[in-house]
Structure 1
Amino acid sequence: MPALRKASWLSVVLLAGCATGPLTSPAPALIPSAMPPQPAPVPELRPGVPAGYLGRALPDSLLLLPPPPAKGSAGFARDQATSRASQKLKSSPRYALASRDADLRFPQVASTFSCALGVPISQQDTPRLYLLLQRTLVDAGLATYAAKDHYKRTRPFVFYKEKTCFPADEASLRTDGSYPSGHTSIGWAWALLLSELSPAQADAVLARGRAFGENRLICNAHWQSDVLQGRAVGAGAVAVLHANETFNADMRAARAEIDSLRGSGVVAQDCDAEATALKVKIPGVE
């Protein structure tokens, strides 16, 4: 995929092990008699790393988005003010959550929305949903690169000569455009998909999706305008995905998994720390 060669940050994520283990997951442990069949093998970007659904049919973020705020503009001044305010949260529980959210590697990132959804998300418990998240990460992430590669916007940690919340990514982020935010595009796409799969939890899921993107401010990895426009790209990717029949079939299977878990009484665990962190607001943003 030519776009993947340009996507330095996303390439690092994929090379680091976006998928671990076989793409056809082992039998789930919780309620095997109620779970849908395991996913069939899918195309791979690299061994063990599933491709997205869209291929070259990605939304064009360069066409979709306005230019980022220019240095010296009122918009950039707002970005700077929000950036400086967000850095006051380094000793807060929200910073710890932002650091966790920065790591897009599977399997850990799959559980991001477990507490908001109310049921565990994992390769073992929800194999079809897990694969759906893997594949849509690629689509929503790559959809940002037409604009990223055109504008090549400097990230705040580079601009201010500072650090981020996730040092492992800093080398790749230095040469990866800040606008729009790929993390935000992915997180917002996931929030939209999960709110569709489980409408009763939509408010909590969408709030978690918003926090996932805004945590990039706390991480010092993005400006606020990067985050806002990242949501637009994520929404655009989701709109295009709904025209893909394989995606729609996987959505139906993922919905069945969620319903089966919820019907069995299985709930997400260890959610208190996340709830505490989400109560910490970013000054000037929430």
Structure 2
Amino acid sequence: YSCKLGVSIDEKQTPTTLRVLHRVELDVRTIGTPAKDLYNRPRPLIGDDKPICIPREDWMKTNASYPSGHSMTGWAWALILAELAPAKADAMLSIGKSVGDSRAICGVHYISDIEAGRTLAAAMVAKLHGDPQFQRDIAKARGEMARAKAAPTGCA
């Protein structure tokens, strides 16, 4: 996200923005885990030995596929960053979509897992807008983004 934003999201220049993104990552677990537990859908890689693009790990056997938490996080971050930097909205949404898409490409989620993650993310972000603390943090983060000068390093 930082490379496309042209702004480093870090403790020094955008601490509130970083805190909002961390909060959302925790909220994704709170919102997504009950659905994962309820549906307990095995991941597409379980029961086969087809190649996937990330290392197979034991947690993949017990962490349900539906909904995709990575997709939820990626889409929620994209929605928030698009709001904070409207001129970069298309790039943020494209990255957020790619995060989810990569989960199917890598063979660790079904498309429906990814779509469910995006839907839950959109609902979660909409609900967060009703929280006064979130509103204050977003207002402060918007100011941070407007003042941010340091561009990320290592972007191609």
TM-score by length of 2: 0.92
Q: What secondary structure sits across from 1:259 in the alignment? A: helix
Pick aligned residue for 2:15 from 94, 111, 127: 127
* CA deviation profile, 1:183-214 (whole Å, cap 9, x unmatched): 00111001001101111100000000000111
2:114 match: 227
Which structure 2 residues correspond to residues 218-257 of structure 1 after superposition, within 5 A? 218-257=105-144
Pick aligned residue for 2:67 from 177, 180, 185: 180
Pick aligned residue for 1:205 from 79, 84, 92: 92
Q: 1:237 to 1:193 in 2, by over 3 A?
A: same
How big is the shift at 1:126? 1.4
* CA deviation profile, 1:74-126 (whole Å, cap 9, x unmatched): xxxxxxxxxxxxxxxxxxxxxxxxxxxxxxxxxxxxxxx10121211122331
Q: For 1:184, give the aligned amino acid.
A: S
From the two aligned structures, give the one with the greater helix fraction: 2
Which structure 2 residues correspond to residues 125-204 of structure 1 after superposition, within 5 A? 125-162=13-50, 164-167=52-55, 170-204=57-91
Q: What secondary structure sits across from 2:45 in the alignment? A: helix
Q: What secondary structure sits across from 1:217 in the alignment? A: helix
* CA deviation profile, 1:244-280 (whole Å, cap 9, x unmatched): 111111111111111111xx4x3233322xxxxxxxx
Q: Which has the larger radius of gyration?
A: 1
The answer to which structure, 1 or 2, has the higher relative contact order (CA under 8 A, 6+ apart) is 2
In the comparison of the two structures, how many residue pairs are matched? Answer: 156
- Give the whole-Å Cα distance in 2 for the aligned partners of 1:141 and 1:116: 26
- Give the whole-Å Cα distance in 2 for the aligned partners of 1:174 and 1:161: 13
1:267 match: 151
CA contact (8 A) 1:141 1:186 kept: no
Q: What percent identity do the matched residue pairs reach?
A: 41
- Give the whole-Å Cα distance in 2 for the aligned partners of 1:216 and 1:207: 15
